[in-house]
Amino acid sequence: MTIRVLVADDHAAVRAGIVLILDGQNDIEVVGEAQDGERAVAMARELRPDVVLMDVRMPRLDGISATRELAGVADVLILTTFDLDEYVFGALRAGAAGFLLKNTDAHALVEAVRVVARGDGLISPSVTRRLIAAFGTAVPERSPHALDGLTPREREVLACIGRGLSNAEIAAELDMAEATTKTHVSRLLNKLGLRSRVQAAILARDLSPEV
């Protein structure tokens, strides 16, 4: 299956470089380019790509705000020069499926697109330690009733997400098709009011052992 990608960046040269890398792959097709956040949202709603590669700093509408508007439309992979905490946490809260820095090499960029297209989450290794530390020192509000609306199978899937398993690994562990796994993930995100798999993993760890 071909992965359809929309590239959103306000620098034409950067967009051209990304497009060149992605279009060179047999399983990836760049279906559109956007020079600002508003255009990215409009094009994503029209073209329905599998993945939107989104810069953070863009005119008219920044990448984080655009990501928030694209919840349920496409998976967003943030690609930025800046690894500031406000961008990392803001992007994940907005529902981004991944966060990657522009100094990432071409191979890692291509693999990141594939990972996000599979429905998995991805965080740049250079910011992972800070992310873990931030959530480790936070004291999130817990509710024992947060998972009441989930079916037993959805609880099992959520627990697997909390352990960091991919959709393929969850399917193998729970003995079901990968497409079924994706359906369960989508439904539990919707029921829990979450925007991304990363947020689900954080919730699963927070509410353990209730999951």
- Tens digits of residue pLDDT in 127-170: 666 665 555 444 445 455 668 889 999 999 999 988 878 888 89
Q: What is the pLDDT of residue 139?
A: 41
How confident is the model over 70-89, as pLDDT tens digits?
988 899 999 988 767 677 77
Transcribe the chain into DSSP letters.
Answer: -PEEEEEE-S-HHHHHHHHHHHHTSTTEEEEEEESSHHHHHHHHHHH--SEEEE-SS-SSS-HHHHHHHTTTT-EEEEEES---HHHHHHHHHHT-SEEEETTS-HHHHHHHHHHHHTT--EE-HHHHHHHHHHHHH--PPP-TTTTTTS-HHHHHHHHHHHTT--HHHHHHHHTS-HHHHHHHHHHHHHHHT-SSHHHHHHHHHHHTT--
End-to-end CA gap in the chain: 33
- Please give the CATH number for the structural domain made up of 3-134: 3.40.50.2300
CB 109 within 8 A of CB 18: yes
This prediction has a pTM of 0.68
How confident is the model over 168-193, as pLDDT tens digits?
889 999 999 988 998 999 899 888 88
Say how many CA atoms lie within 13 Å of 165 toward its Cβ.
Answer: 21
Average pLDDT, the chain: 86
**pLDDT above 80 (res 6):** yes
Please report which confidence band the pLDDT of residue 110 belongs to, taking 50, 70 and 90 as the band edges: very high
Q: For domain 152-207, which CATH number applies: 2.30.30.90, 3.40.50.2300, 1.10.10.10, 3.40.50.720?
A: 1.10.10.10
**pLDDT above 70 (res 42):** yes
Q: What is the pLDDT of residue 85?
A: 66
Cα separation of 68 and 78, whole Å?
12
Q: What is the pLDDT of residue 12?
A: 95
Q: What is the pLDDT of residue 20?
A: 96
Any idea where the domains of the chain sit in the sequence? 3-134, 152-207
Cα separation of 74 and 8, whole Å?
13
Please report which confidence band the pLDDT of residue 205 belongs to, taking 50, 70 and 90 as the band edges: confident
Neighbouring-strand partners of residue 89: none
